[in-house]
Amino acid sequence: MSTVEPKGAVHWIDHYVVGTNDLPSWSYWALHATGLPIQPINGLTTNMRKKNTPIFCFMWWEGGSCRIGAFLQPENYPPAKPLGQDMPRCGFYIRPEDIDRHLRRLDQYKIPHTDPVKTAADGEEGTVICFADPDGNQYEFWAPARMPVGAMEICTSEKVGRISHAIYGSRDLAKTEAFFDKYCGMAVERNSKTAEGTLVLRMRAGARLVYKLVDRVDERIAGHSPWWDMHTALTVREEEFFPNYRRMWEGLSEEAGPKEDLHDSREIEDAFPARTGLHRSPVGYRWKEIYNRGDEFYDWDGHAFHFFGGIPLKNDGSLALYQGKEQEEYLRELAESLKKGARP
């Protein structure tokens, strides 16, 4: 990786959000699988949502640097593929000496998982364990041969660290590479041990985005209706947050309209270009109202992302450890500047 940091470069995956049909079941899974603290919630399921029951649709966990969430989906999820085959999926750093500890916990709570496998197929050497939540969303524990600085400095009570990587499908790896080079300052990591048909995009602090060449992307992605707001948040320097969005707004079109109002075939949805769109959270709606552009963006295969600002906590200025700056803070600053006559 170049020692010169590109403008707007991505450093980490700050958080990863999946879909669920049963928030209580997912929340207990999160507790047992990763050690994230449980939050008190009522029985919130997709079936209740379809009956127009007033419900809370989003759960969020912050366990140090292990940040994951789940959105309640409007329809029941389709069946998942076998473990290690469904995409997207995300991984969490663990220490190699803790592998047996994690296997015992997964077995204790009857969480389906694979045996640990040593591999270098996805861009770096280490040991991987695949496992799944009650909805069939898939994850990995990743014990690397070389642990990046900041990966385990903050971890959950069960010794699960920062998000290490996320894996997606791509129908055109060259197109995907060009997209992330232009808008996210992410360099391709080429390694003779990397599996054929695999694109590895390295982040500045050490995490990865991994794309696998596919003929057709999997069903469970944000670009497919009726699913919504499964996404990956990418950490950039706080001062690069707005410049990154402005570059993206200049280069990409906005989605045609609210996705929930569209009833296109899967073939039409899969043909949509890379674009920006509405991030379906309270702050996302306010953002769209002010800028008339969404703060979520989609790659060429319908996977959703947004940027997340980070403020360095280390004296060397790196984002190995950082304090996050939430979108709400950016909007508060914007509101103050608008009062003073500034333009969005």
The predicted pLDDT at position 156 comes to 87
CB 215 within 8 A of CB 268: no
Domain spans of the chain?
A: 12-339
Q: Give every CB contact of residue 250 below 8 A, 6+ residues apart in sequence.
A: none
pLDDT in tens, the chain (344 residues): 667 899 899 999 999 999 989 888 888 898 899 987 766 554 566 565 555 554 445 555 554 566 888 888 888 888 889 999 999 999 999 999 999 999 999 999 999 999 999 999 999 999 999 999 999 999 999 999 999 999 998 888 899 999 999 999 999 999 999 999 999 999 899 888 999 999 999 999 999 999 999 999 998 888 888 887 899 999 999 999 999 999 999 999 998 766 656 667 788 888 899 999 988 777 888 888 888 899 999 999 999 999 999 999 989 999 999 998 888 888 888 777 776 666 66
Distance of CA 239 to the CA centre of its chain: 21
Q: Give every CB contact of residue 24 below 8 A, 6+ residues apart in sequence.
A: 41, 42, 43, 44, 45
The predicted pLDDT at position 167 comes to 98
DSSP 300-315: TTS-EEEEEEEEE-ST
The predicted pLDDT at position 344 comes to 61
Q: Give every CB contact of residue 292 below 8 A, 6+ residues apart in sequence.
A: 254
**Domain 12-339 superfamily per CATH:** 2,3-Dihydroxybiphenyl 1,2-Dioxygenase, domain 1 (3.10.180.10)
For Cα atoms 143, 147, 153, give the angle at the middle one, nearest 5 degrees: 100
At residue 136, the 3 state secondary structure works out as coil
The predicted pLDDT at position 54 comes to 45
The predicted pLDDT at position 342 comes to 62
The predicted pLDDT at position 78 comes to 87
- Give the span between the Cα atoms of 33 and 158, in whole angstroms: 8
- Give the span between the Cα atoms of 235 and 166, in whole angstroms: 14
Q: What is the DSSP letter of 35?
A: -
Give the helix/strand (H/E) hosting 198. strand 198-202
The predicted pLDDT at position 50 comes to 58
The predicted pLDDT at position 46 comes to 56
Assigned token pair, 206: 């050490």
Taking CB atoms within 8 Å and a gap of at least 24, the contacts of 53-62 are 56/23, 58/229, 58/281, 59/23, 59/26, 59/27, 61/30, 61/36, 61/37, 62/36
Residue indicated by tokens 């232009």: 182
- Give the span between the Cα atoms of 92 and 162, in whole angstroms: 6
Distance of CA 67 to the CA centre of its chain: 10
pTM score: 0.92
